[in-house]
Structure 1
Amino acid sequence: MAAGRFREPVTFERLVAGDDGYGNPNSAWADIETAPGVVMMLWADMLEGLGKEAIASGRLESPRTATIRFRQSDDVLAIGEADRIKARGATWDIRGIGAVGRKGAVVEMTCEEVTS
């Protein structure tokens, strides 16, 4: 895949456990950092698709989907389906991850936009 296709800047979030200050456990999404104070940002090839309409709780929903590709790297391999992506002003849940091509030089993530 040509380098020019990887032109979307994306960042990643991970759910981290914490404390609410009163001893009660809670969790929140935090940016994944490559070093303290340095948010991990990678360049990606992103293709948005049409959502699939579904009826949930008596209303029609059509979440947007996207296929996001990255060049394989240690940073990309550290991302899992429990993490999420921030790109194009939206937050995306990662639904699947796989290597593309015979050499696995590209990692593809299928994602669905977070609606709430």
Structure 2
Amino acid sequence: MARAGSLRHKITFDKRADVDDGYGNTQAGWVEQFTVRGEVRPKLGGETVTAARLQAQNTVTISVRQSDKTRLIREDWRARDLPEGVEYAIKSIVDPDDGGAWLELLCQTGAAA
């Protein structure tokens, strides 16, 4: 479980949305929602075969404090660790204390978001 002193990462959450390309057209893109402090804990890495190519995947657990903002996070969003410049696909969201102070997000790099 995360503690306040372990929230060393700035985590930004983005949501997919249609974005105007400036020419009257829309295209799918990411829209930044908010940034919070969080803890990133690595899990075991792995590999997957996608389109006959081996692709590395790193799995992490990101812990953030529950708030009105963080309770909006969904599995189709992505998380970005700003200082590290890493993008994560959110795979699952768990409230480990069932209404407690934290949310834990199971996330992967190298995964299609």
How many residues align? The count is 109
Match of 2:66 in 1: 72
Give 3-state SS (helix, strand or coil) of 1:110's partner: strand
Alpha-carbon separation, structure 2, partners of 1:3 and 1:55: 38
Do 2:55 and 2:110's aligned partners in 1 also have CA atoms closer than 8 Å?
A: no
The alignment yields a C-alpha RMSD, in angstroms, of 2.0
Offset of 1:22 from its aligned partner? Answer: 5.0
Distance 1:84 1:43, change over 3 A: same
- Structure 2: which 5+ runs fail to align? none
Distance 1:115 1:93, change over 3 A: closer
Match of 1:86 in 2: 80
Distance 1:61 1:22, change over 3 A: same
Distance 1:15 1:114, change over 3 A: farther
Alpha-carbon separation, structure 2, partners of 1:78 and 1:101: 17
| Structure 1 length-normalised TM | 0.80
Q: Give CA deviations for 1:21-46 in whole Å, capped at 9, x if unaligned.
A: 555431111211xxxxxxx2211111
Q: Give CA deviations for 1:66-110 in whole Å, capped at 9, x if unaligned.
A: 100011111110111111111021111110001012542210000
Alpha-carbon separation, structure 1, partners of 2:27 and 2:99: 41
Match of 1:46 in 2: 40
Give 3-state SS (helix, strand or coil) of 2:57's partner: coil
Alpha-carbon separation, structure 1, partners of 2:70 and 2:94: 11
Give 3-state SS (helix, strand or coil) of 2:45's partner: coil
Offset of 1:54 from its aligned partner? Answer: 2.0
- Structure 1: which 5+ runs fail to align? 33-39
| Structure 2 length-normalised TM | 0.82
